Structure 1
Amino acid sequence: MPTRGQKQSDDDFVSIGTLKEMLAQQKAQYEDLLQRQQSTFQSFISTVMDSNNKRMDSLIREVQEIKDSLQYSQAEIEDSKTKQQDQNQSIKDVESKLDRVGVELSTIVNKADYLENQSRRNNILIDGVPDNKQENWTQCEQKVREILKDKLKLDPLKIEIERSHRNGKFQEDGRPRPIVAKLLRYKDKEVIMQKAKFLRGSNIYINEDFSEAVRQKRKDLLPEMRAARERGNVAYLRFDRLVVHPPRDAPRGSS
């Protein structure tokens, strides 16, 4: 039979065993808890990392798409620049050609105007001579010869007229059409123009015959010619230019 001291020792032994068992159980619980927490944390970290990786992949794709789009846009811009440069060069080429054509056309126009004025060189233009709808060339020439004889005191037989005709359509309001008289000799024209001053005070005027371009230039110069005359200068039109100089008897240095 065990003694009292032995019973107490056994109780102490049981208590320590139980305590060890409890500690072992508690340790197992903690280890299990730690494992679960570690697993949960690892799962959380894995989820976060997967999410971040997906976002990073998505961002990388978007950046790549943007980069590709920018490269495509840059290529289009460069292509547009090239096309624009080609178009600008084409425009410059066309402008250059137009300039050359303009110069050539201006030269042609000037030559044509020169030839036209040369063809009119021996012509005189007579305004104010009564008109008749049934008037023919012969009658028109006869009226010119009468003016040369009666108004300018010239011998009409010494002045050869190649052709004489009215210019334009007959005016029903009674305004006479100008007469264009083509003379055989230029010297005869000079004599007639010198004698034209005898027509002052009459309704008849004799002028040189010019092309439309020259007539317009002379018309534009008329105000300047009148102003020069009002200042006391001698001013007159010579072809398509204005000639101005002081009167012959004016003191030197006057204007």
Structure 2
Amino acid sequence: MVLEKARLKDIVDNLDKEDKDILNIVTNLKMEVDTVKEHVSDLGKTRDEHLHLITQIKDDISTVRKEIKDEASVQERHLENQEAALKAEIKDLKESTENAINSLQNEFVGIRSSVKSSADKMETISADITNKVQYIDTVVESLKEDIWELDSANRNNVIFYGVKEESGMNAEQTIRQIFKTQLNLGRDIVITRVKKGKGVTIRGTQPITVCLQTFKDKMEVLAKSKLLRGTNIMVTEDFPRRIQEHRAELTKFAKEVKKANPDVRLSLQYDRLYVESEPYIYNEETNSVEAVEHCEEVALQNRSALARKIYQTRKCNKSSPRRRVRKSISTDTDFQNYQQNSPHKRMVEDELSDHIDYDEHGIDDFD
């Protein structure tokens, strides 16, 4: 009996001890739960702060985007106004230049009319008229050259000959394909305009005038044009009409020289042909190709003869038969108007046949 009581007491003590342990565990759990609740509350506050910060950042981004958009709109309008003003200035300059050309041409017509009605005084004033005609011719050609130089679109132009458009592709797409596959241009060349020749065909295709955005792009295209050797395609600069005619005559002369001496080194640079190192130009007065030194000597002799003639005319004051004054001023201001039978067209067709190459400075190598 005593043993059973002792055992029961031990059991009760153990139970009390376990109850205390359980109470301690429950207390610890409650503390941990309170700690977790505090952490959860802190996380909730942190989340709210982050959400508020994100919202504020979004508002700042929207504000910055709006400011950037407004500033871009202002700059775009400013650039548009500047572009419009520049175009208007260029247009006014071209119009004033053309008016000056027309005025000079009208003056020339008036001079010719006066000469025809005053045949008895022709010898006395012939030298002055000749000088005026030469001056007018020089001024007109100079003004036309200035117009061509002022037109930035022409300055960045190149002309493609012998290009055939593939099915499903327009002229610009065809040119871009040539840039990529045949000229091996690794970057995109910006093309602002593509224009075909008006009614002109050279060996079954129309010349294609390509206006590039920058002069650097034009130089790069001309530099890579040697890669077109052996094809039916040729690239040239968009030269003024007078230079084209000079180059056509120089090209014919170069072919004759090359035929007579196949080993000679020929190079056509703008309006000069270099035979080895000796320059030649086309003389409009003699209608022939002459060495530069010879042309300068002839011009000096002509000026000396003209001076002697003026002196003798004023001294003797004798009448002479009427001299015809040849009109040498071109009234055509459209530099893209290639005639069907023009020397430039015949030159291009010959060069396409003989594969004359152009380098980056408008030079033709006839080797």
1:101 shift after superposition: 2.8
1:156 Cα deviation after fit: 5.0
| Counterpart residue number, 1:71 | none
| Matched ranges for 1:54-65 at <5 A | none
1:181 maps onto 2:214 in alignment:
no
Cα distance in 2 between the residues matched to 1:188 and 1:102: 40
After superposition, residues 100-179 of structure 1 pair within 5 angstroms as 100-118=131-149, 119=151, 120-131=154-165, 139-155=170-186, 157=188, 159-169=189-199, 175-179=204-208
Q: What is the CA–CA distance in structure 2 between the aligned matches of 1:116 and 1:150, rounded to whole Å?
A: 35
**Matched letter for residue 90 of structure 1:** K
CA 1:238 to 1:121, structure 2 compared with 1: closer, same or farther past 3 Å?
farther
Counterpart of 2:245 in structure 1: which amino acid?
Q
CA apart distance, 1:228: 4.5
Change beyond 3 A, Cα 1:147–1:116: farther
- Spell out, residue by residue over 1:44-79, the C-alpha distance to the aligned partner (whole angstroms, 9 max, x if none): xxxxxxxxxxxxxxxxxxxxxxxxxxxxxxxxxxxx
Change over 3 Å in CA distance of 1:141–1:112 after alignment to 2: farther
How far residue 94 of structure 1 moved from its aligned partner, in angstroms, is: 4.3
Q: Matched residue of 1:149: which SS?
A: helix
Which one has a bigger Cα radius of gyration?
Answer: 1
Higher alpha-carbon deviation: 231-240 or 112-121: 112-121
Instruction: Look up the equivalent residue of 1:162 and give its one-letter code.
Output: T
| Displacement of 1:113 | 3.7
Cα distance in 2, alignment partners of residues 145 and 156 from structure 1: 11
**Do 1:116 and 1:211's aligned partners in 2 also have CA atoms closer than 8 Å?**
no
Separation of aligned partners in 2, 1:226 and 1:184 = 35
1:234 aligns with 2:268: no
Q: Label 1:161 to 1:236 Cα distance change in 2 as closer, same or farther (>3 A).
A: same
1:83-115 superposed Cα distances (whole Å, 9 cap, x missing partner): xxxx77732454244224312321223213422
Check whether the contact 1:123–1:181 (CA below 8 A) recurs between aligned residues.
yes
RMSD: 3.0
Structure of higher RCO (CA pairs closer than 8 Å, 6+ residues apart): 2
Among 234, 239, 244, which residue is 1:210 paired with?
Answer: 239
Give 1:231 deviation, angstroms.
4.4
Give the letter for the 2:225 counterpart. Answer: A
Tell me if structure 1 keeps the 8 A contact 2:197–2:209.
Answer: yes
Q: What SS class does the counterpart of residue 199 from structure 2 fall into?
A: coil
Match of 1:251 in 2: none
Q: How far off is 1:244 after superposition?
A: 2.8
CA distance in 2, matches of 1:112, 1:175: 34
* Conservation of the 8 A alpha-carbon contact between 2:157 and 2:238: yes
Q: Is residue 152–residue 199 contact of structure 1 (8 Å, CA) maintained in 2?
A: yes
Would you say how many aligned residue pairs link Structure 1 and Structure 2? 154
The structure-2 alpha-carbon separation of the partners of 1:208 and 1:88, relative to structure 1 and needing over 3 Å to count, comes to closer
TM-score using structure 2 length:
0.37
Q: Can you give the 5+ residue segments of structure 2 that lack an aligned partner in the other structure?
A: 1-117, 278-367
Deviation at 1:170, TM superposition (A): 6.8
Shift, 1:178, TM fit: 0.3
| Corresponding residue of 1:221 | 250
| Counterpart residue type for residue 242 of structure 2 | A
Write the letter of the residue equivalent to 1:128: G
Cα contact 2:165–2:174 (8 A) shared by 1: no
Distance 1:117 1:245, change over 3 A: farther
**Aligned partners of 2:200 and 2:207 also within 8 Å:** no
Aligned partner of residue 232 in structure 2, secondary structure: coil
Runs of 4+ in 1 over 4 A off after TM superposition: none
**Cα separation, 2, equivalents of 1:243 and 1:174:** 28
